[in-house]
Amino acid sequence: MSTRGFHTILRLAALMIICSTHCAGPAKPDLVFIAAADWRYKATEDYHTPAYFMGALQSIVEVGKGAFMVSPGDVEPIDASRELISQVLGEEYIWYPVAGNHELDSAAYMESLRTMNAGGNTLPGVVRVGPPGSEETTYSFEWGNCHFVVLNQYFDGHSDVGTDGDVVPELLEWLRRDLSENEKRHIFVIGHEPLISIPDMETGRIRHEDDSLNKYVKNMHRFHQLMLEYGTTAYLCGHTHNTSIAKINGIWQIDVGHARGIEDPFPALLYKETSNRIPAEATEPEAIESGLRAYFEPRKYAIKKVLYYAGLTKGIYYKELQDEPAFEALTHFYATISQNPSQLDEYCDVFWENNRLTASSYTRLVVDDAQVTVEVYRNDAVGGEYSLVLTEVLD
């Protein structure tokens, strides 16, 4: 081979090395996953529109659904939520739901959670099942260079439905054993309730200020110190319906907010929806009442809230309002607006003076060996499209 030919081969080899380093585009992250919670799915027509949880799922498809979704609680009914997630994100899409306080509302919800991880063999990647009494609803799993721990904070040491949100000594000891044997680079601990409630990143609203894990402050402190001791990357939670990312004495807490779309109805929406449920030809009180009851029945809790915040329940707090008085207030509201449409604006003004709805949100976490990036996506709180509103690199 001539000297010229040899030099040509060297140049080609150098170009191949440079191209392999610089021409292949940015390196793919080690892991991408979604964290979303507190959508409390209802099998009603509106929940199958983009204004509700369906909108969050559709947005997740657009931005990239990653390998799986973790959901820090209040995503019941579990079976119906699984069906909707499969419909939008695919039947094979992996979902790790976590026990929240509203999963305890029904034995069927908890049984669905237990079935999803029966024997620790159902969900992918499970490496350790929970302590006796919470074997299915507390567990750890691994994915790539990450170790994930799912905690049932309603486990009291014997029953997985025994507390009102705590990290009892039996659960803490199980967590210590689990973390002590971990060899993965990043650790994510997931539970429903925050260490402490942090105000929403945009509205400043705060909920569950005194009844999150800080209700049992000594156990909360021990839990925090244990996560710190083993270098936990982040603690993921929900419960407050507010979205926040905060470093609490060395531990990143990511409250993923609620992903239900419209958090609560408001007077204009309430009137529109109830009107749509009443046949146009209905003039008899019985027909109107039937239409209202059909709309009201599956939405009791939400409608009580909007009636309260719009000043329609004479000062009775919505959690204390009984079903029949709530229906009477709803009927009066509908009749008033039908006779005097301008009254709707007055009700809306009172509602917005007394209530701050928080935007529907979900987070997308991008994990590399060196760092974790958290992306927060939110809508406009009244059913609009989602957009990226915050990117935070966890140090």
pLDDT band at 126 (very low <50, low <70, confident <90, very high): very high
- Where helices occur in 233-299 by DSSP H, the ranges are 267-276, 285-296
**Residue 20 has what pLDDT?**
46
Which of 75-79, 270-274, 363-367 is predicted least confidently? 270-274
Q: Which residues make Cβ contacts (< 8 Å) with residue 173, sequence separation at least 6? A: 131
E-assigned strand segments in the chain: 31-35, 68-71, 94-97, 126-129, 139-143, 146-150, 186-190, 234-237, 243-248, 251-256, 361-367, 372-378, 387-394
**pLDDT, tens digit (0-9, with 9 covering 90-100), for 131-161:** 999 999 999 999 999 999 999 999 999 999 9
**Residue 37 has what pLDDT?**
98
**What CA dihedral angle connects 75, 76, 80 and 83, to 10 degrees?**
30
Q: For residues 117 and 25, what is the distance between their CA atoms, to the nearest angstrom? A: 39
Residue 249, Ramachandran bin (φ over 0: left; ψ between -120 and 50: alpha; else beta): left
CA 374 to chain centre: 15
Q: For residues 26 and 29, what is the distance between their CA atoms, to the nearest angstrom? A: 9
pLDDT at 15 exceeding the cut of 80 = no
For 57-62, the CB contacts below 8 A with 24+ separation are: 57/84, 57/85, 57/88, 57/89, 58/88, 59/362, 59/377, 59/385, 59/386, 60/34, 60/36, 60/88, 60/89, 60/362, 60/364, 61/88, 61/89
**pLDDT, tens digit (0-9, with 9 covering 90-100), for 198-208:** 999 999 999 99
DSSP SS3 for 50: coil
Q: For residues 246 and 252, what is the distance between their CA atoms, to the nearest angstrom? A: 6
The reply to whether the predicted model has a pTM over 0.85 is yes
- The most confident of the ranges 192-196, 325-329, 379-383 is 192-196
pLDDT at 217 exceeding the cut of 90 = yes
Query: What is the rounded average pLDDT for all residues in the chain?
Result: 90
Architecture category of domain 31-262+358-394 in CATH:
4-Layer Sandwich (3.60)
**Residue 6 has what pLDDT?**
44
**Residue 14 has what pLDDT?**
47
**Residue 328 has what pLDDT?**
85
Q: Which residue has the higher pLDDT, 49 or 156?
A: 156
Q: Which residues make Cβ contacts (< 8 Å) with residue 292, sequence separation at least 6? A: 274, 277, 278, 327, 330, 331, 334
Which of 105-109, 174-178, 278-282 is predicted least confidently? 278-282
pLDDT at 331 exceeding the cut of 90 = no
Q: Is 392 exposed, middle or buried (0-12, 13-18, 19+ CB in 10 A)?
A: middle
pLDDT at 391 exceeding the cut of 60 = yes
**Residue 281 has what pLDDT?**
58
pLDDT at 274 exceeding the cut of 90 = no
**Residue 279 has what pLDDT?**
66
Which of 44-53, 246-255, 287-296, 349-358 is predicted least confidently? 287-296
Task: State mean pLDDT over 257-269.
Answer: 92
**Residue 62 has what pLDDT?**
98
Domain ranges of the chain: 31-262+358-394, 267-354
Look up residue 287 and give its two tokens: 């027909």
Compute how many other C-beta atoms are within 10 angstroms of the C-beta atom of residue 259. Answer: 34
**Residue 46 has what pLDDT?**
72
Q: For residues 393 and 371, what is the distance between their CA atoms, to the nearest angstrom? A: 7
**Residue 10 has what pLDDT?**
44
pLDDT band at 332 (very low <50, low <70, confident <90, very high): confident
Task: State mean pLDDT over 15-37.
Answer: 69
Q: For residues 206 and 378, what is the distance between their CA atoms, to the nearest angstrom? A: 17
**Residue 114 has what pLDDT?**
95
**Residue 269 has what pLDDT?**
87
Which of 17-21, 137-141, 299-303 is predicted least confidently? 17-21
Q: Which residue has the higher pLDDT, 241 or 2?
A: 241
**pLDDT, tens digit (0-9, with 9 covering 90-100), for 307-328:** 999 999 988 999 899 988 888 8
